[in-house]
Amino acid sequence: VLMDEPLGALDKQLREQMQFEIKDIHARLGVTFVYVTHDQTEALTMSDRIAVFSAGRIEQLSTPRELYERPTGSFVASFIGENNRMSGTVLAGGENGGVAVHLDDGDLVLNAISPGATPPAGARVTLSIRPERMSLLHDGSTALNVIAATVVQSVYVGDHIRLVAVTAGGLKFI
């Protein structure tokens, strides 16, 4: 069954209800569905497997969880969901394929996970960090992987509040 943006014209509440209906029909029929959508949340919700394309080529083909949690490259990380990108230099290898990274703004991130081969010390890298993986700490608190920043904007979204913060070096993140 081929579906090309079948829920695109529906309002949010009806679209979410129809997603469950389509998943139920899929389970009952037991046939392959090819579901085309540009709505990333819909793709993550509806799919057993997702293919992310760029310039006509598949960048990553995997489960929704794998795609979101462990994108294979910066294009996929920036395409699926929000993320904060921070550049830095690898200091040394860490645990479980992770690396220690000195960020360009001076902060240190320990045990950053690489989706591919572990980059060598001295390599330039870009970290992608999902906003929901970040937490606020009070001034003077200690923890691993702390990035000092000042909250400059707070936006109420309904089920959560979006904060925008800026480091002393000018790096802005959500």
Question: Interior CA angle at 24 toward 19 and 25, to 5°?
Answer: 100
pLDDT of 33 reads 93
- Picking from 18, 50, 17, the residue whose alpha carbon sits closest to that of residue 6 is 18
pLDDT of 94 reads 65
Taking only the tens place, the pLDDT of each residue in 9-59 is 999 999 999 999 999 999 999 999 999 998 888 999 999 999 999 999 999
Domains, the chain, in order of start with CATH, read: 2-79 (3.40.50.300), 84-173 (no CATH)
d(CA 36, CA 30): 18
User: Which 3 state secondary structure label does DSSP give 40?
Assistant: helix
Which residues lie below 8 Å from residue 146, measured CB to CB, with a gap of 6+? 107, 137
d(CA 140, CA 148): 10
Task: Kindly report the pTM of this predicted structure.
Answer: 0.78
| Spatial contact of 38 and 5, defined as CB atoms under 8 Å apart | yes
d(CA 168, CA 149): 7
Q: Which residues of the chain have pLDDT under 70?
A: 94-97
